[in-house]
Structure formats: C-alpha cells, structure tokens
Structure 1
Amino acid sequence: MSPSEQTHQPVRAATAAFIGTAVEFYDYYTYATAAALVLGEVFFPSSNHFLSTMASFGTFFVGFIARPLSGAVFGHLGDKLGRKKMLLLTMFLMGIATTGIGLLPGYASIGIWAPISLVLLRILQGIAVGGEWGGAVLMASEHAPTGRKTFFASFPQMGSPAGLILSLVSFRLVTSLDHASFVAWGWRLPFLASFVLLLIGMAIRLGVKESPEFEQLRKNREVLKSPVKEVLRTAWYPIVMAAMATTIGSAGFFFTNTFMISYVTGYLGMSKSFILDCLFVVTLIQLASQPVSALLAQRVGETRFLTCAALLSMLTPYPMFLLVKTQNPVAIVAGISFAVVVLSAVYAVIAGFMTPAFPTQVRYSGISIAYQLCATIAGGTTPLIGTALAQNYKGEWLPLAIFFSVLSAVSLVGIVGLGRYRKGIRAGETRAGMCEVT
C-alpha cells in the first residue's frame, strides 16, 4: 500500500463504515418507528389498541431472534473470507427486505398472509443487521492508526443516530398527511426510499479495501477453519461480559426512541408529529455527543469512562420521566436528551472496548455473537416489556424508570467484568514478553 493510501484508507474506511451503518440502521429504525405508529393498525387490526401495539412490537422482536444466529454465521464467514464481502452482502439483504415491506399489502387486502409476509421480511432484516455491526466496527478499527482504534471504532456507532435522524425525518414528513392517507400509503414511502439508500451505500463500500489485519492473517495462512467453534470454546467469558456491557447502549435506544413514541401517544395523549419532532432534536444532540465521548474515553481510559457512564445512566430515567410528564417540548427534549447522551456514551465506546478482548482470527465472530445476543435478549424485548409495564401500571412512570435502571446496572456488571478480562490479557502478554526477553 502506498504512503498516500496508508494515510487515506483509515479515514475512508471509517467514513464508509459510518455511512453504510447509517443506511442499515435507517432501515431498522424505520421498521421500529412504523411498529410504534402504524403497523399494528395495518397488519394486526383490532378494536383493542393495546393488543394491536403488542402484536406490532412482537414482529419487531422477531427480527431480533434471527440476529444471534446471523451474527455467528456472518462472523464465521467474515473471519474466513473477509470483512468487506460480508458488509456488501448484509447491506443488499437489508435493502431488499425493507423495500419489500414498503410494497407489502395489508391485512385488509390479503388477510393472514399479510402478517406472515411481514414476519418473514422482518426476519430477513434481522439476518442482515446481525452480520452488519461486527463487520463495520472491524473495518473501521482494523484500518485505524495505533492508539486511535477506540475513536475510529465509534464511527459505525454514529451510524445509528444518523440512521435514526433519516428515519425520523421521513416519518415526520408522512405523518403530516391526514390519518387515512398515512395508514393507506404514506407509511410506505420511508420503506421504499431504502432502495435509493441501498444503491448509495453499496457504491461507497465497494471503494474501501479489505481490513489490513485480516489481509495479514490470510497472508500468514492463519485463518481458522472454524472460528465460531473456536471463539465459543476459548472465549465464552468475554462474549457474556461484552453482551452484558452493551445492554443499555442497545436496549436504551429502543426504550427512548421506540417504546417512548408508543408511551407518550398512547398514555399521555401527545400527537405523533409532536414526539417525532422532540426525538429529532434529541437525536441531533446524540449524534454530536458520541464522537466527544469516544475522544474523552480514549484520553481517560475506556474502562473508567464506561463505568462512570453506566453508573450515571442508572440515575437518568427519573428526571427524564418527570420532564416528559410536563408535555413541554423543551422539557421533553432536555429530559430524553440527558438519558440518551449518557447511554450513547456507552454505545459510542463499547465497540472499541470489546474488540481487543478477542484475537483477530475470531474477532468478527466474537463481537458479533456478543452484540447480537444482547440485542435479542435486551433490545428486542424492551418495547414489549415497556408496553406491558405501562399497561399494568397506568399513570405510573416509576416502574418504567426502574426497568431502565436495571438495564444500566447489567451494563455496569459487564463493563467491570470485561475490563478485568482485558487487564488480564495485557498482563499475560507482558509476562510472555518478559519471558521471551529472558
């Protein structure tokens, strides 16, 4: 690689990871937003709003079921064939699934086949995003200069709020339609726009070279035959700790950006457009805060930074709900922003934090299984649990706040455990180096 390429490839790889992940998460958040706003009415019509919403969030959860298996499959292939090939494939699958949902007839047109088809396309979305995250993180971090891997690994993490911003903008435009038009065809437009974004994302990713660390493995013939089997055999502990560590970073977003839409519209009487406007401002603040968090963590140390962020996250839901209850837009934005900035601090840094815990030969498999395991157990169930709590404790926000605190506490345990594991790895490497010198 020429000196010019060595200088520009890390930036190009990080930029491609950011844009590509933004496209993928646009698709995923588009489904999440639609699940909160309209999919229950279109695909699960019922006179009981609670049942329709729970059925809609049920299909949202179905996409998460596919993610751990998908993470293992794409992790295996990514550790054997390369990171770049997997990222192109996952983007293609996501674009096709999302566009397909936009074209899908509702229950009134084809009956039971409508929700069945929706579930199948949702599973395809889950398969795509299950393989996306790990590859994007590794393309950014493995291209990064020494000493800056945490910051570069945060770029694909910024794709999440960027994708959410695109999704919120698209839904804000279509929710300005009258209700009948929105339900009939307006909600489909954000899904159909995915096809254009697919073409843009594919073009960008084609221009990035394969990860240099993977290329070195291939050159040295150190690629493993069964990376998933090896990582499960030798690194089950960091997988569990990494899955726990990322809990609030994954589940917290679906709490504040998916469940919260349903909660304030269904229980506090706010309009769809009003809460979408508030969440749009919150997400802009989140996008701006994440690189700052990554730079700060790189300066003070990831373990110390993440521990403080997880502790603070346990406290944030209480002022958030108090401010949301006022129904004042400034107060709502301030309350949700406080919670989101703190939990997104965990999300921004967690990728760079967990990556060094796994050897390069099994890294795609290890981080993908860990992240997608967490996404399924915590992320996919959060809107369902939140909706059930809101229904059982009508008018009370304290059970919801406690639930949020529990998610943060799980992250804290995982962060401490993974931090100790990484410290042990470094100590072992130092001892090995001393023995070699001796």
Structure 2
Amino acid sequence: MTAVKNASRAQPKRAALASFIGTTIEWYDFYSYATAAAIVFGPLFFPGESRLLSLLASFGTFAIGFFARPLGGVLFGHIGDRVGRKRSLMLTLMLMAVSTVAIGCLPTFEKAGAIAPVLLIVLRLLQGVAVGGEWGGAVLLAGEHAPEGKRTFFASFAQLGSASGLILSILAFGVASKLPNADFMSWGWRVPFLASIVLLIVGFVIRAGVDESPEFEALKEERELAEHPLKETMKQWRLVLVVLGANVYGIAGVYFSNIFMITYATQYLSLDRSMVLDAMFYVAVLQFFVQLGAAFVAQRFGTARVLTMAAVWAIVVPFIMLPLVRMGTFGSVTLGVGLATIAESGYYAVIAGFVTGMFAARIRYTAISLAYQVCGALAGGLTPLFATVLAERYSPSWVPMALFYSSFALLSLVCVRWLARREAAGDFEERGETRALVPQGLSSAS
C-alpha cells in the first residue's frame, strides 16, 4: 500500500518531466525546420535569382506546417478525449520523430528536381499534424496530474519544451554552421534532423512510465467521455475565439524573435550567421529561465496579472529591440532580442495554465488544441512571412515591423483582460476542481 502511495505521489513530477521531455523533442524538431527554412532550404530546395521569392517559398513550407496543426489538434484531441491523453501523446512523438529524420535524408532540388520540394512539403505537413496534437496533450498530462492549486506551475513544464527545444536546435545548427560553407550546405544541415532519433528513444522511454491522467480516468470510470468532442467544443465557439486571441502573442512573438530575426539579421543586415546563432542561443537560455520564473510568480501572485504585465511590455519592446539588432554587434543583438524574450517567454509560460481550465475535462484536449493550433496556423505560420514582406518593402526602416509586433501583443492583452474581468465578475461557472470556465453569454448553448 505504501509503495502505491509513493508511486502516486511521484506521478505529478513524472508527468511534468514527461511533458517537458516530449515537448522538447517536438519543438527541437519543429525549430530545426524553422532554422533550416531561414538559412538553408531557400537555396537548396527553392533555388532562383530572387532572394525574396526563395525566402518566401522556404517560409511558405514553414507556414504549411502551421496550417496542418489544427488538423493534428482535432485528430489527436479526439483520441485524447476518447481514448486517453497518454496514448495520443505516444503517437504524436513517433510521428514527429519519423518525419524529422526523413527530412534529414531528403535529396535537394539539384539532385531530384521538383520532387525534392514536394517531399519536403509532405514531411512538413506531417510535422505540423504531430505538433498539433502534442501541445494540448502535454499540457493536460502535466496539469491534470498536478497537486491541487498548482496546475499553472505544472502545466508550464510542457511550455518549457519550447525553450529547451530551441536551445538544442540552435546548438545543433550552431555547431553545424561552423563547418566550411560547402560542407554545411552539402551535408552539415542534415545532422540536426538525423539526431532526432536519439531524442525519440529517450522521450518514448520516459513517457511510457507515466500513468494516464487521473481526470481522464475518472471520466472513463463514470462513463462521461464525450461522444463527439469537436461537436461539443464548437457549441462554445465564441469562447474558443477569445482563447485563440489570448494565445496570439505567445505564439507570434516567439516566431518573430526566434525565426524572423535570424533572417532579418543575416539576410537584410548582412550580419555573420554564426554570430547571430550564438546570440540566439543565449536568448534561448534566457527564455528557459524566464519561463520557469514566470510560472512560479504566476502561481503565487496571479496568472492574469503576469500575462497583463508581459503583454504591456510587449507593446513597447519592439521599438527597443529592432534598433539594438540593427547596431549589429553580438551584445546588441543578444540584448535586443533578449528584452523581447522576457515578455514573450513570461507570457508563453503561463498562458497554458490560464486557458486549460476554461473547458470541461471531457472536451478539454480538443478545445484547447483547436484554439491554440488555429492560432498557431495564423499567428505562427504567417508572422515570418508578413515580417519578411515588411522588411523587403520598407527596409531600412524598422518601424513597420515594430508596429506589426505591437499589434498582436495588443490583441492578446485585450483578450486576457476580457477573460480576467469576466472571471472577477463571477461570470464563470466552476465545475469541481478543474475550473471549467464557461462565460455566460459566450456559449451558443446558453
């Protein structure tokens, strides 16, 4: 009996670790593609005389992965709400790793012609489906195992995977980029993708040792599983849209700073590629620790308060970041992007805990995945594209890009404050310990 109790007490930490490791692998794979899209895929898979068209084609395949994410969210959300969080997550892990390793084996346009970019697009779609199902399940596996009153903190471990995945990706590409350019463009860029198989084995073993979510098990035992999770979710479509808006900055900000800024610094400011990647590595380390700190502060002083402060700072910070990056030194690039990262990572760390409890457990996987992944398709997939167009159109002026950044921060601020005010006014219905928040007047069923 004592052993059972000890195992039960260990499950929250084990679930948090499994969510962290799993999302680290998923985001390592996703960011590896993003980094390659910024510096490699254009000339190798979409060669041409126009730098802009080559970059847009490369970022276009990057965006395609985002547009596949809602499909993954609905597909694996259905599995997670009907069959179990854990089973869904094992499938997403396998799909992402296999797709990523296959990308590392692809022939380039020079060797295979048009079939090369077609295969790249197909594998990118599979990556998108995998990561679309991963986020919601990882957040829930950690959050639903959390001790009472600590959901936000435990759910943040799934968010930490974004920072650690980025760190590993930058490390991998940073080492590879130090090769002679001919070697890097020939085979060096493939190594970070092929290394994913090692991460898969580690993640699979750790995730296999975690029990199913206790909230899901309770629903299963009471026979209260949703028959049609998506259908039930869409009855609350207005709430889904508000949650989507609240997620915009957490997604768009990260992809502006971590992906577009690599292209902007190397392609438009002609800064050294290795120097930029080194700076982004230190920024990613900062992101990791800020996320840990923000989750702790939010658990102690209030999630809505931390989100509000981060979003307000985000509206201002691009007018500081971009001039610093344009100075072109290692220190100025690191400082500029780092200042933005404080807002982005603080916001991203706690937004999952903020929105997770807004839906009943029976549809929670589908609902939060749909809101987050549709937001990812729009805010994440299109942000590097729009920012690149702005850079091409208005360079050397940086103001249009700063206004673009501020606009999506303002949108998220409005959505967070709306949700926080409605909660404070008592307009949310609490269902047990899960805080399944349903704003009166938002649900079409109300």
Instruction: Report if TM-score (shorter chain) is over 0.5.
Output: yes
SS at match of 1:210: coil
**In structure 2, what is the equivalent of residue 361 of structure 1?**
362
SS at match of 1:361: coil
Contact 1:14 1:152 in 2 (8 A): yes
1:199-348 to structure 2, matched below 5 A, reads 199-233=201-235, 235-348=236-349
CA RMSD, 1 decimal: 1.3
**In structure 2, what is the equivalent of residue 135 of structure 1?**
137
Deviation, structure 1 residue 6: 2.3
Deviation, structure 1 residue 421: 4.6
**Amino acid of the structure 2 residue aligned with 1:336:** V
**In structure 1, what is the equivalent of residue 32 of structure 2?**
30
Distance 1:61 1:427, change over 3 A: closer
Contact 2:44 2:109 in 1 (8 A): yes
Deviation, structure 1 residue 238: 2.1
Deviations 1:89-132 (A, max 9, x none): 00000001000100000001111100111000000000000000
**Amino acid of the structure 2 residue aligned with 1:399:** P
Distance 1:308 1:171, change over 3 A: same
Deviation, structure 1 residue 217: 0.4
Distance 1:426 1:144, change over 3 A: farther
1:413-432 to structure 2, matched below 5 A, reads 413-423=414-424, 428-429=429-430
- Between the aligned partners of 1:307 and 1:276, the Cα distance in structure 2 is 30
Contact 1:75 1:134 in 2 (8 A): yes
Identify the match of residue 196 of structure 1 among 195, 198, 203: 198
Contact 1:23 1:197 in 2 (8 A): yes
Contact 1:169 1:280 in 2 (8 A): yes
**Amino acid of the structure 2 residue aligned with 1:296:** V
Gapped regions of structure 1 (runs ≥ 5): 431-438
Deviation, structure 1 residue 417: 2.6
**In structure 2, what is the equivalent of residue 383 of structure 1?**
384
Deviations 1:344-379 (A, max 9, x none): 111000000001100000100110001001100110
Contact 1:238 1:418 in 2 (8 A): no
Deviation, structure 1 residue 394: 1.4
Give the number of aligned pairs.
429
SS at match of 2:271: coil
**Amino acid of the structure 1 residue aligned with 2:53:** L
Deviations 1:65-94 (A, max 9, x none): 111122111111110000000100000000
Contact 2:394 2:400 in 1 (8 A): yes
**Percent identity of the aligned residues?**
48
**In structure 1, what is the equivalent of residue 371 of structure 2?**
370
**Amino acid of the structure 1 residue aligned with 2:234:** L
SS at match of 1:222: coil
Contact 2:422 2:428 in 1 (8 A): no
Deviations 1:165-198 (A, max 9, x none): 0000000111011111111111011010111111
**In structure 2, what is the equivalent of residue 145 of structure 1?**
147
SS at match of 2:210: coil
**In structure 2, what is the equivalent of residue 123 of structure 1?**
125
**Amino acid of the structure 2 residue aligned with 1:410:** L
**Amino acid of the structure 2 residue aligned with 1:389:** L
**Amino acid of the structure 1 residue aligned with 2:142:** A
Deviation, structure 1 residue 265: 0.6
Contact 1:357 1:422 in 2 (8 A): no
**Amino acid of the structure 1 residue aligned with 2:35:** T
- Between the aligned partners of 1:200 and 1:27, the Cα distance in structure 2 is 14
- Between the aligned partners of 1:421 and 1:211, the Cα distance in structure 2 is 29
- Between the aligned partners of 2:221 and 2:83, the Cα distance in structure 1 is 12
**In structure 1, what is the equivalent of residue 437 of structure 2?**
none
Deviation, structure 1 residue 427: 5.2
Deviations 1:319-341 (A, max 9, x none): 11111111121222111111011
Contact 1:356 1:422 in 2 (8 A): no
Distance 1:426 1:148, change over 3 A: farther
**Amino acid of the structure 2 residue aligned with 1:169:** L
- Between the aligned partners of 2:366 and 2:260, the Cα distance in structure 1 is 30
Deviation, structure 1 residue 426: 6.5
- Between the aligned partners of 1:415 and 1:238, the Cα distance in structure 2 is 12
- Between the aligned partners of 2:65 and 2:215, the Cα distance in structure 1 is 31
**In structure 2, what is the equivalent of residue 404 of structure 1?**
405
SS at match of 2:362: helix
Contact 1:354 1:418 in 2 (8 A): no
Deviation, structure 1 residue 422: 4.1
Deviation, structure 1 residue 213: 0.5
**In structure 2, what is the equivalent of residue 97 of structure 1?**
99
Contact 2:15 2:210 in 1 (8 A): yes
Distance 1:17 1:381, change over 3 A: same
Deviation, structure 1 residue 423: 4.5
SS at match of 1:240: helix
- Between the aligned partners of 2:101 and 2:229, the Cα distance in structure 1 is 33
**Which aligned segments of 4 or more residues in structure 1 are displaced greater than 6 angstroms?**
none
**In structure 1, what is the equivalent of residue 444 of structure 2?**
none
SS at match of 2:110: helix
- Between the aligned partners of 1:14 and 1:295, the Cα distance in structure 2 is 14
Distance 1:248 1:205, change over 3 A: same
- TM-score, length-scaled by structure 2: 0.94
- Between the aligned partners of 1:126 and 1:429, the Cα distance in structure 2 is 33
Deviations 1:378-411 (A, max 9, x none): 1000010011000001111111111100110111
